[in-house]
Chain A
Amino acid sequence: MTKNIIPIGPQHPLLKEPISVNIEVSGEDVLGGSLRIGYVHRGIERLAQERTYVQNVHLIERICGICSHVHTTTFCYAVEDLLGVEIPPRAQYIRALMCELERIHSHLLWIGILAKHIGLDMVFMHSWHNREIVLDIMEALSGGRVSHAANLIGGVRFDMDAEHESMVRRKLQKLGDQLFGVLDAIRTDPTIRARTIGVAPITADQIREYSVVGPVARASGVAVDMRRDSPLPPYDKLDFNVITYPEGDAWARTMVRVDETRESLKLCESILDQMPEGPVTTRVRRKVPAGETVIRAEAPRGEVFYYLRSDGSEFPARLKIRTPTLAALSLIPVQLSEIRVADIPVVLAGIDLCIACADR
């Protein structure tokens, strides 16, 4: 049978963001693939050097449209680390609450996309319908559905009152009630199982070799979670499970995200329970003392890594960002062999592509 190249991307119904995957096929069998990225490179690391730290918070927010909050959180913790200030505990808890809400909404979005790719539009619609509740909460708290602008250097921009808290609790309760049925259905549905079990397995050795992090690593039994391994406050005071599955196939990657969604819902509750009183901002200087620091945080897709060097001025001397998707992308050519053409969407969806993060 002749060999053909299926071009997926830069524009394809499968992709929401531009990358280019050229897949070599022979009939229905996939022989291999090659990857090209860089279509949405915006030079954010260079741009950051031309803006002040205060302006940079808003630039960093635009790295990603889904995990925008965790990027600014990591950046702010890095700047505060160089400044030598500790933000008030209430601000830490509000940052963590937004991070967990963001994780729920990112995972629900992902579940929807996987369902869409395997032709299960009903789960797609129901999962995104539930995601709206999370977006509503975030909008009510911060004023923004996607770009929340919640962080300032030295705290957060908004405070929560009792009315906010009861609203968040009520909506999370409603979300839990609606969501658990959908999540249980995903776990037991025979057609989802048929399409994901045993598809494109990744071994734990491969995970370590390619430095893959986040849910993809946890689905192969590698328990890495920056919330536990390198906790930013207040995660050291919170109790949660790191979800791992040993199988490493598309099914395990689905189940990790399904279980993490439940875990994040529980975390939101305990953050609200433990939320201390007090101010949400502290005054900081505009000029950051010379020095360098590394801060790591757990984004919905895995570890984000921020290296920040200051030369004592208002502008960062160097900002290096490493996002989880870049590592996971290197696994795509590895996975694109010994599968069928119909598995390509499952493979591409499985690592939860965020090209905007990866290209920056």
Chain B
Amino acid sequence: MFEGLFYLFVFPGLAFQVFCGLAFEWVDRKLLARFQRRVGPQWYQPLADLIKLFSKEDLLPTGASGWVATILPLISLAAVLTAGLYIPVAGFTPFSFEGDLIVIVFLMGIPTLAYYLAGMTSVGIYSILGGARSLLQYFSYEVPLLLAFSGPAILSGSWSVAEILKSQAELGPFILFQPVGFCLAIAGLIGKLKRDPLDIPKAKSEVVAGSLTEFSGGKLAFWHLTMDIQAIVGIFLLINLFFGMPLGISPWINTLIFSGEVLLVIFILSASSSIFARLRIDQLASLGWRILVPVGIIQLLFVILMGV
């Protein structure tokens, strides 16, 4: 009983994920700033921003539904926190079961749906455009992302993240067998997190802040927290599927390797958001369906042949 509550609220649950989410935001902002020859924020800046947002007045335009706007960020936050529970952190998995990869993918899709609904229930034109774009973007990146995630699952013969991690300890990191799959997964993750260069639903110069234009105060703070935790959960998942680690040595060494891998993926994400310009939504759709999906299918065939 007590142990379960500790898992839920402290590690690897709420407190740990909020900490990791904020830490991710800081590392990401600092890296972006250094790429742009800026100094970047202090380590406590993401937390300070969050506290400041909570203290701000919470406004909604006339005509928008208050309880829907309140419940959407909370549902998204709950979904990503739950997804985080099933992902092994440095090899530590309290709640693993066969098929949890599918549950994680499902839970990670909920914030996108909530984001779309948030845009549609607001009354502003920017929100509606942002919401519609987020759904269009979802159809472009989700299939390549799923194809990329199926690779490790098929190779290890299990749809449980913990099992995939175990088989990598024996076979070696899956990124060696499917580097293309890893690139697809990175592209899909960028699309899922709505980061540069795929920040099409919230492109500032086009649709102001997309679905979140009319949000303020605590609701906006919950949205930001959701995005941060979604990012860190996605990164953890990617590491478990493609990098792996030698299990059964000391947990401290595992933690060290895990942290290094997390930093590497954050670096890749920050670098790609620095060096690419934002794509148009039609360019993204054509990139997704004409290039990423065929490449993903070829990679999958390759993996199946390799498994045989």
Is B290 close to A, CB under 8 A?
Answer: no
The stretch from B49-57, B248-256, B270-278 touching chain A is B270-278
Q: Which residues of B contact A118 (CB under 8 A)?
A: 205, 277-278
Task: Specify which chain B residues have a CB less than 8 angstroms from the CB of A343 in the assembled complex.
Answer: 280
Number of contacting residues on B, CB 8 A? 31
B126 contacts A by Cβ under 8 Å: yes
Complex alpha-carbon distance, A14 and B126, angstroms: 13
- Rounded to whole angstroms, the CA-CA distance of A59 and B275 in the bound complex is 42
Within 111-128 of A, Cβ neighbours of B (below 8 Å) are at 115-122, 124-126
> Is B241's beta carbon under 8 Å from chain A?
no
> Of the candidates B126, B132, B197, B204, which one forms a contact with A191 in the assembled complex, judged by CB atoms under 8 Å apart?
B197
B36 on the A face (CB < 8 A): yes
Question: B9 at the A/B interface (Cβ < 8 Å)?
Answer: no
Which residue in B129, B199, B278 is a CB contact (below 8 Å) of A341? B129
Nearest-CB residue, chain B, relative to A4: B125
* Interface of chain B, main secondary structure: helix
Complex contact B38–A344 (CB within 8 A): no
When A and B form their complex, which 7 residue pairs have the shortest distance between CB atoms, in order from nearest?
A119-B278, A125-B36, A191-B277, A345-B205, A120-B277, A342-B280, A118-B277
Interface residues of B (CB under 8 A from A): 32, 35-38, 125-126, 128-129, 132-133, 196-197, 199-200, 203-208, 274-283
Q: Are A6 and B199 in contact (CB under 8 A)?
A: no
CB-based contact B277/A340 at 8 Å: no
CB-based nearest A residue for B275: A122
Chain A residues with CB under 8 A of B276 = 120, 191
| A46 contacts across to B, CB distance below 8 A | none
Known: A121-B36, A126-B37. A344 touches B206 (CB 8 A): yes
10 A-B pairs besides A4-B125, A119-B203, A120-B278 with CB distance below 8 A are A6-B129, A14-B205, A25-B129, A117-B205, A121-B32, A121-B274, A124-B36, A195-B277, A340-B281, A340-B282
Known: A4-B125, A27-B132, A126-B36. A194 touches B279 (CB 8 A): yes
Interface membership of A12, Cβ < 8 A: yes
Contact A129 B277 (CB under 8 A): no
A85 within 8 A of B: no
Contacts A5-B125, A125-B36, A342-B203: A189 and B280 contacting too (C-beta < 8 A)? no
Q: CB of A37 within 8 A of chain B? A: no
The 23 sampled A-B contact pairs (Cβ below 8 Å) are A4-B128, A13-B205, A28-B129, A28-B133, A119-B197, A119-B278, A122-B35, A122-B36, A125-B36, A125-B37, A126-B36, A126-B37, A129-B37, A189-B277, A191-B276, A191-B277, A192-B277, A194-B280, A195-B277, A195-B279, A195-B280, A340-B280, A340-B281
> What B residues does A12 contact at CB under 8 A?
208
Roughly how many angstroms separate A213 CA and B207 CA in the complex, as a whole number? 31
Q: Please state if A13 and B204 are interface contacts (CB–CB under 8 Å).
A: yes
Question: Which of B125, B197, B206 has the most C-beta atoms of chain A within 10 angstroms of its own C-beta?
Answer: B206
A residues in contact with B199, CB < 8 Å: 119
